[in-house]
Amino acid sequence: MTAIASAVVPITGAELARARQYLYGGLAWGVGAEVWTLVLLAFAYYSGASAALAAWLGRKMPRWAVASGVTAALMIYGLTGLLPFSFYVDYGRERRFGFEHLGVAAWLAQWAAASLLTVIAAVVVATIAYAWVGRGMSEHKRDARPGRAGARAQRWWLKMWVVMAAAVVVTVALEPVVIEPLFNHFTPVRNAALRTDIEALARRAGIPNAHIYEMDASRQSAHTNAYVVGILGSQRIVLYDTMIARQPPAEIEFVVGHEIGHYVLHHLWKGVGFTVVLLLGWFALLGLIFPRLSRGESGADVAALPLVLLILVALVYLSAPATNGFSRWEEHQADAYGLQLTPAPCAAVASFEREERTDLIYPDPPDWMVWWFFNHPDQQERINFARQACLARPQ
């Protein structure tokens, strides 16, 4: 194969070792946080704490308020219990590797704001779900037909799935216009020449009025990135200002072409559909597993919420190869689209090589690690794929 010259200085052995340390340490701490999450949920349920809280609230409040109170308490307990992991992984390690720009107080304020949003969203979803399930249980108790009430009562998990599926759609739609502006400032790309080139690229892809924004990511981090987000009219492509500052226009155009690929290939809607179907599988398994692990409560009882979450979170962790595999498939499709759309496909090689240094991306991890943990193809695979496109259409 003919060698392809790159303007990017190859990553050194010391940098490669540092990237490996960044990856492996992050994965190890991430697994630790997952295990600790399961421990926290198991303790909340099997210690009887959730049942005691639900019983105490039930003497003072209506059923829907009990669901809200138990959910809020459980979320605050879980987020606070995970704070040491969050602080070390998202702040301490990021600071040590030269990425984090916020001070401790600013980071904690942002964590508190994000946690508050998480608690509010969980309370809304859980309150709706338990109100619906609870109403159904009351109706089933009045049904005198033999076996009818019991059969219907076993389908509590199906109603929960419907509420969660709706929540997924609403969240993806609202994220770019309601949630993200709370944490960052978004403006049209300020570099006029780059903005003109990007708009031309979007028109070439059949998107004459694409919403492409620049985000002030540098206020928080040195990481470079771009992403596409939103559905139901909230779609937008977002570029980190750190990437705009560090990469030449040709590389940025490839990155934008990749994100346009997600847009044109309807990956967000496909991702929502995949998630909703996967949720159905998880909730169906929840309905089967729950009676075997519970202490006799129904899944419709909010006192059992920690066990419901324990089972669902475990299923999410165990489904990582499927969810990450689907994401890698979409990312590869977007790479292929970006390489076809952009006028200089060889710039993609330089872009991927540059990311190894700017974001400490370890290029060639073991296959098993990619299979389980990675939601993008490994960097060396992406570089090799881009090189093939460069050789086929050198600029």
Q: What b/e readout covers 345-354, taking b as 16+ CB neighbours within 10 angstroms?
A: bbbbbbbbbb
Phi, psi angles (nearest 5°) of residue 191: -70, 110
Tokens of 136: 């159904």
Structure tokens at 381: 């695979």
pLDDT of 48 = 95
Q: Largest Cα–Cα distance of the chain, in whole Å?
A: 78
Let me know the angle formed at the C-alpha of 326 by 28 and 370, rounded to the nearest 5 degrees: 35
Could you tell me the residue range of the domain that residue 81 belongs to? 13-144+152-181+297-323
Nearest to 158 by CA among 27, 299, 328, 365: 299
Count of domains forming the chain: 1
Q: What is the chain's pLDDT, residue by residue, as a tens digit (395 residues)?
A: 344 545 567 788 899 999 999 999 999 999 999 999 999 999 999 999 999 999 999 998 888 899 999 999 999 999 999 999 999 999 999 999 999 999 999 999 999 999 999 999 999 999 999 999 987 555 545 444 544 444 455 689 999 999 999 999 999 999 999 999 999 999 999 999 999 999 999 999 998 888 999 999 999 999 999 999 999 989 999 999 999 999 999 999 999 999 999 999 999 999 999 999 999 999 999 999 999 999 988 999 999 999 999 999 999 999 999 999 999 999 999 999 999 999 888 999 999 999 999 999 999 999 999 999 999 999 999 999 999 999 887 76
Which of left, alpha, beta for 290 (phi over 0: left; psi -120 to 50: alpha)? alpha
Task: Identify residue 380 by its one-letter amino acid code.
Answer: Q
pLDDT of residue 148: 47
- Domain contains 287: no
Q: What pLDDT, on the 0 to 100 scale, is given for residue 5?
A: 47
In a domain, 304, yes or no: yes
Which 8-state DSSP code applies to residue 251?
H
CA distances (Å), 127 to each of 52, 274, 310, 318, in order? 19, 25, 18, 27
The whole-angstrom distance between residue 314's C-alpha and the CA centroid of its chain comes to 16
Residue 172 in domain: yes
pLDDT score, position 146? 46
* Contact present, 391 and 4 (Cβ < 8 Å): yes
Helix axes 320-341, 305-318, angle to 10 degrees: 50
Sheet holding 186-188, edge to edge: 186-188, 212-215, 236-240, 226-229
305 domain residue, yes or no: yes
How far apart, in whole angstroms, are the C-alpha atoms of residue 49 and residue 42? 10
In a domain, 386, yes or no: no
- Region for residue 221 given its phi and psi (left: phi exceeds 0; alpha: psi -120 to 50; beta: otherwise): beta
Identify the pLDDT of residue 136.
57
End-to-end Cα separation, the chain, in angstroms: 17
Residue 53 Cα to chain centre, angstroms: 31
Q: Is there a domain that residue 197 lies in?
A: no
58 vs 162: CA distance, rounded Å: 26
Structure token pair of residue 342:
């952009």
Q: Give the model confidence (pLDDT) of 340-353 as tens digits.
A: 999 888 999 999 99
Is 281 a domain residue? no
Best CA proximity match to 125, nearest among 167, 85, 178, 177: 167
Which of these, 335, 346, 343, 344, lies nearest to 390 by C-alpha position?
346
Q: What pLDDT does residue 365 have?
A: 96
Please report whether residue 290 resides in a domain: no
Residue 292 CB-density burial (10 A; 0-12 exposed, 13-18 middle, 19+ buried)? exposed
